[in-house]
Amino acid sequence: MKKIILSLIMTAAVNSYAAVSEDSKIFTPYFDMTLLEAAYVPSEGNIFSGGNINTQVGLLTKITAKDSVFGLYNFNYSGPAFQPQDSKQFTDRSMSHGFNFEYRRSLGEKFRVRPGVSYMTDYVRSGANEAWQNGLYNMNSKGGQLAADYNFDFDRNGFLTAAYMVRNIAFPNYTDLLREFQNADNTAETSGGLQDQSLTQFSLRPNWNGFFAGYTVTQQNYKHQMVVDAHSGIYGATKQKDKSTTFDGGFRQKLWIFDLSPMLSYTMHRSNQNFLRYKSALATGFANMADGSNDITMVAKNYDYNELTFSVPVDLNVTGKWAIGGSINVIRRAYTDRGARDVDNNYTVAKQKNLMSTLTGSIRKRMNDVATMRLFYSLVVASSNNKFEKYMPSNYTGNSIGVAYQLSY
């Protein structure tokens, strides 16, 4: 907490001199605040409200013609909302503070390198309303990154960015409650830290004239979590490793009276972790996916999936101030090995597939050069061939209506 306070004070103190900098161009402040609040009506369960707050405060300081420093603080709150299947409960919330400091050095006219450090703390709260500090999945992340930019077209903002990032991620409150319960001699120390991991990410992103694309590889190496052996069903000596590869692309363009910003991404997630499904605490016997109705079933490569996401937001500018907006957003996840379950928790022959589609209609008012307000209505349809929904909903319809504000400078 001391770090947060100190950093906030530093950010505030430094930014207070931004007015001078406007003329000298030594200091360039950055402020972006987005606020969204909505009411949600799901087909299962009761009405609830939720929202999202994102505040980014940054300052770019030009030290010499070639050297500059950029500091950014980011506050983010994600409230209750409809969620894609297999992710989290509607009532889960999270709040994070992120700090990022970056040194920028120009190399000639076309190249620039950007080494940086980053720290983030993330609080996660479930529908049980536990105190923020007590969240089971609270997380701290710290690390560094090195990015390099190559500018190949100054006139049309064409550049290529390569970035390498390393993070050390700790979950201080996480413990395996089941393991502690099963073994009385076990302690929180031996059952804790199972989510702790190191994360490395490499990305390559070209941009040109409003068009963008990306290739991102993310590797997560767990420090303590072992893999469940696919043959014996017990934890072995291999540590869990996850890898995600993502391709994405899109553009932001103004065509006549339309503002378009479609985006498409495809992710392949692979993990060496397996999953042992118990139908009950007293279940006995052991089978693989060939016998999906057994009381205990081993699902090898349970977490491997391919996910396609696309969104097509369009704003029709009726006047300079007013616009009518619409968007379609689709998330389709197909598990490579995990079978879909029937209502009795038996695995079927078909592989699990989830689909979540959102259709949104909105009215946007541009209040001035820096502020906009948007009223919106969204219809969400989530469907899956997984019919076992005792803990998480897989098939539901939801309606939401809300308001969003954005002020960006």
Interface residues with other proteins (CB under 8 A) are 1, 4-5, 8, 12, 15-22, 29, 31, 33, 35, 37, 41-47, 49-51, 53, 55, 57, 75, 77, 79, 93, 95, 123, 129, 132-133, 328, 330, 332, 353, 355, 357, 359, 367-371, 379, 381, 383, 397, 399, 405, 407, 409
CA distance 207 to 162: 12
Smaller CB separation from other proteins, 294 or 384: 384
The answer to whether the beta carbons of residues 309 and 264 sit under 8 Å apart is yes
Smaller CB separation from other proteins, 53 or 296: 53
Smaller CB separation from other proteins, 95 or 299: 95
Nearest-approach distance from CB 45 to other proteins, in angstroms? 7
Nearest-approach distance from CB 148 to other proteins, in angstroms? 30
Smaller CB separation from other proteins, 114 or 353: 353
Smaller CB separation from other proteins, 363 or 381: 381
Residue 147's alpha-carbon distances to 5, 157, 222, in angstroms, are 28, 17, 25
Smaller CB separation from other proteins, 32 or 229: 32
Residue 123, number of CB atoms within 10 A of its CB: 19
Nearest-approach distance from CB 15 to other proteins, in angstroms? 7
Smaller CB separation from other proteins, 74 or 317: 74
Q: How many CA atoms lie within 13 A of 372 on its CB side?
A: 22
CA distance 140 to 160: 30
The answer to whether the beta carbons of residues 115 and 102 sit under 8 Å apart is yes
- What Rg do the C-alpha atoms of the chain give, in angstroms? 24
Nearest-approach distance from CB 236 to other proteins, in angstroms? 37
Nearest-approach distance from CB 129 to other proteins, in angstroms? 8
Nearest-approach distance from CB 317 to other proteins, in angstroms? 21
The answer to whether the beta carbons of residues 212 and 187 sit under 8 Å apart is no
Nearest-approach distance from CB 167 to other proteins, in angstroms? 23
CA distance 177 to 62: 51
Show the 3-state SS of 150-217: EEEECCCCEEEEEEEEEEEEECCCCECHHHHHHCCCCCHHHHECCCCEEEEEEEEEEEECCEEEEEEE
CA distance 275 to 300: 6
Strand partners, 333: 307, 354
